[in-house]
């Protein structure tokens, strides 16, 4: 397997975010979403931050995300990627046009996240909460072939502690919110820990449409024992870093049911795909 294909990463976000301000839900209330997420890439950021070409790979991910308010301050959270399809195209010689390595495909379950959120403070002016999310290694770590190793998980158990601060406000006559977060992700099996910074700004139009801009920054602490290029050719490489910009839309068909779309792309990074991702979803918001 070449160094180039070892560096590709398909899942740029450890935990799928929702198109909400992530206030604590409240007892008996919840948010549930079925999503399809896709990424096609033929280039990636290497460890130096430069972009190079690679064999085209595709990922299609179907997932369930849910939040449920157990009490007025405690929410349960789950992210379950119940079907993931990864493919790699044939490697074709640019000189003779013959196939050097055959393509490959993997259909599997992905890594699951479960968590709990505690609402420290919530009023008309701000919301402060903290959450603990556990990453379960339920995905496939050795699918495909020796020439095209495909995976849907990294095989390690991680624990992410995060703090979120949100502020609702008015922009003219529009309802709006701003949110910032910081998280620390402790990883096992030789992977480096990670620090995540996030920010969102959302605007509410016509009592039906939310438009949300997002910024996510991931930094590696580089304290792991694995090399950046894993010895087993893992697509979920060590010491991944990125700055990711995103834009999301959530349209409420009625007071509870709606449709969502999200676009995200890394504007800089290390050991990560240099291509945009797209996500569409159907959600139920019980307030």
The 10s digit of each residue's pLDDT in 123-158 is: 888 999 999 999 999 998 876 655 456 888 888 999
Q: Note the pLDDT of residue 282.
A: 98
Question: What whole-number distance in Å separates Cα of residue 85 and Cα of residue 195?
Answer: 28
Please list the rounded mean pLDDT of every run of 10 residues in the chain (287 residues).
Answer: 38 38 80 96 89 89 97 96 90 69 86 96 91 95 64 91 95 94 96 96 95 97 79 62 96 97 95 92 96
pTM: 0.87
Q: Note the pLDDT of residue 94.
A: 66
Q: Note the pLDDT of residue 209.
A: 97
Domain of 23, CATH number, reads: 2.40.128.130
Alpha-carbon distance values, 259 to 19, 136, 210, 281 (Å) = 10, 28, 11, 6
Question: What whole-number distance in Å separates Cα of residue 239 and Cα of residue 5?
Answer: 16
Other Cβ atoms closer than 10 A to 206: 8
Question: What whole-number distance in Å separates Cα of residue 94 and Cα of residue 106?
Answer: 26
Among residues 216, 220, 246, the alpha carbon closest in space to that of 158 is found at 220
Q: Note the pLDDT of residue 7.
A: 40
Q: Which domain holds residue 142?
A: 3-286
Tell me how many domains the chain contains: 1
Tokens of 100: 């050097």
Question: What whole-number distance in Å separates Cα of residue 221 and Cα of residue 187?
Answer: 11
DSSP 27: T
| Residue found by looking up tokens 């505690």 in the block | 118
């Amino acid at each position: 397997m070449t160094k180039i294909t070892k560096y590709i990463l398909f899942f740029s976000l450890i935990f799928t975010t929702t198109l909400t301000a992530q206030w604590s839900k409240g007892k008996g209330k919840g948010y549930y979403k079925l999503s399809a997420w896709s990424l096609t890439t033929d280039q990636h950021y290497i460890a130096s931050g430069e972009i190079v070409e690679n064999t085209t790979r595709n990922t299609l991910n179907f997932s369930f995300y849910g939040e449920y308010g157990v009490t007025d301050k405690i929410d349960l959270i789950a992210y379950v990627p119940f079907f993931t399809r990864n493919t790699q195209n044939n490697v074709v010689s640019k000189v003779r046009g013959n196939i050097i390595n055959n393509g490959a495909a993997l259909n599997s379950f992905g890594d699951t996240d479960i968590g709990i959120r505690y609402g420290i403070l919530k009023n008309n002016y701000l919301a402060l909460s903290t959450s603990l999310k556990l990453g379960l290694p339920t995905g496939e770590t050795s699918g495909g072939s020796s020439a095209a190793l495909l995976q849907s998980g990294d095989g390690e158990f991680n624990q992410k502690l995060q703090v979120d601060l949100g502020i609702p406000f008015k922009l003219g006559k529009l309802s709006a919110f701003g949110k910032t977060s910081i998280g620390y992700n402790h990883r096992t099996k030789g992977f480096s820990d990670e620090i995540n910074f996030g920010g969102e700004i959302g605007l509410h139009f016509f009592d039906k449409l939310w438009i949300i801009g997002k910024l996510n920054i991931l930094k590696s602490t580089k304290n792991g024992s694995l090399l950046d290029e894993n010895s087993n050719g893992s697509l979920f490489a060590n010491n991944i870093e990125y700055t990711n910009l995103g834009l999301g839309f959530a349209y409420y068909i009625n007071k509870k049911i709606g449709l969502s779309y999200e676009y995200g792309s890394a504007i800089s990074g290390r050991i990560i795909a240099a291509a945009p991702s797209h996500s569409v979803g159907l959600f139920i918001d019980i307030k």
